[in-house]
C-alpha cells in the first residue's frame, strides 16, 4: 500500500493567499489552486476577478481535483452585504483516486496556511452555482 503524500505550500504562496483574504475590493475574486504532484507543492493556477460562478465552472477541469479560494459578494436575508472568504474543494467523481487522496490529505495544510475557515466540498461541477454557494453559506452563518 502506498503512503499518503501531503503537499507543501511555500511561505510566499501562503503570504499571497493571506493578502487575498484581507483585500478591500468589493467584487468577486477567485484563486484556483492546484497541487504539482511531481514537486508535491500547492500553487496558484489561475487568478480570476469579477467572473460569474458559471464562468469559473467552465474554467475548471472536470476530471481533476482543485481548490478554489474565493471572496464572494453575498447578500444576507436582512439585506447586509458580506464578502466571505471560503474554499471550494472540487473533487469530481471521475478523478483518479490517488489524486483525490493527495488533495484530501493536503487540505488541512492549505486551510491553515491560507487562513480560510469555510470549506465546501463540490463533487459535481455542474452543481456549482450562486444558489449552491448561497445555500452553503447560509448553513454557516
Whole-angstrom distance, CA of residue 95 vs CA of residue 36: 15
pLDDT at 10 over 90: no
**pLDDT confidence of residue 107:** 95
Q: How far is CA 68 from the centre of its chain?
A: 2
pLDDT digits (tens, 9 = 90+) for 14-68: 888 887 877 777 777 889 999 999 999 999 999 888 888 989 999 999 999 999 9
Whole-angstrom distance, CA of residue 101 vs CA of residue 1: 13
pLDDT at 2 over 70: no
Cα dihedral angle (64, 55, 45, 25), rounded to 10 degrees? -140
pLDDT digits (tens, 9 = 90+) for 54-109: 899 999 999 999 999 998 888 888 888 888 889 999 999 889 999 999 999 999 99
Residues 6+ apart with CB under 8 A from 53: 128, 129, 130, 133
pTM score? 0.88
CB 60 within 8 A of CB 67: no
Lowest-confidence pick of 1-5, 9-13, 26-30, 60-64: 1-5
Residues 6+ apart with CB under 8 A from 65: 35, 89, 90, 91, 92, 95, 99, 100, 102, 103
Where do the domains of the chain lie, and which CATH numbers do they carry? 8-140 (3.40.20.10)
Whole-angstrom distance, CA of residue 4 vs CA of residue 25: 38
Amino acid at each position: 500500500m502506498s503512503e499518503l503524500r501531503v503537499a507543501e505550500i511555500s511561505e510566499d504562496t501562503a503570504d499571497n493567499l493571506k493578502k487575498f483574504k484581507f483585500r478591500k475590493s468589493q467584487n468577486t475574486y477567485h484563486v484556483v489552486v492546484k497541487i504539482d504532484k511531481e514537486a508535491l507543492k500547492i500553487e496558484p493556477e489561475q487568478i480570476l476577478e469579477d467572473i460569474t460562478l458559471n464562468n469559473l465552472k467552465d474554467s475548471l477541469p472536470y476530471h481533476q481535483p482543485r481548490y478554489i479560494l474565493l471572496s464572494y459578494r453575498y447578500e444576507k436575508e436582512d439585506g447586509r452585504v458580506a464578502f466571505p472568504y471560503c474554499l471550494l474543494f472540487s473533487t469530481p467523481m471521475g478523478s483518479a483516486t490517488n489524486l483525490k487522496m493527495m488533495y484530501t490529505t493536503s487540505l488541512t495544510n492549505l486551510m491553515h496556511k491560507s487562513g480560510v475557515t469555510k470549506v465546501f466540498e463540490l463533487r459535481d461541477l455542474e452543481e456549482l452555482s450562486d444558489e449552491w454557494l448561497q445555500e452553503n453559506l447560509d448553513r454557516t452563518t
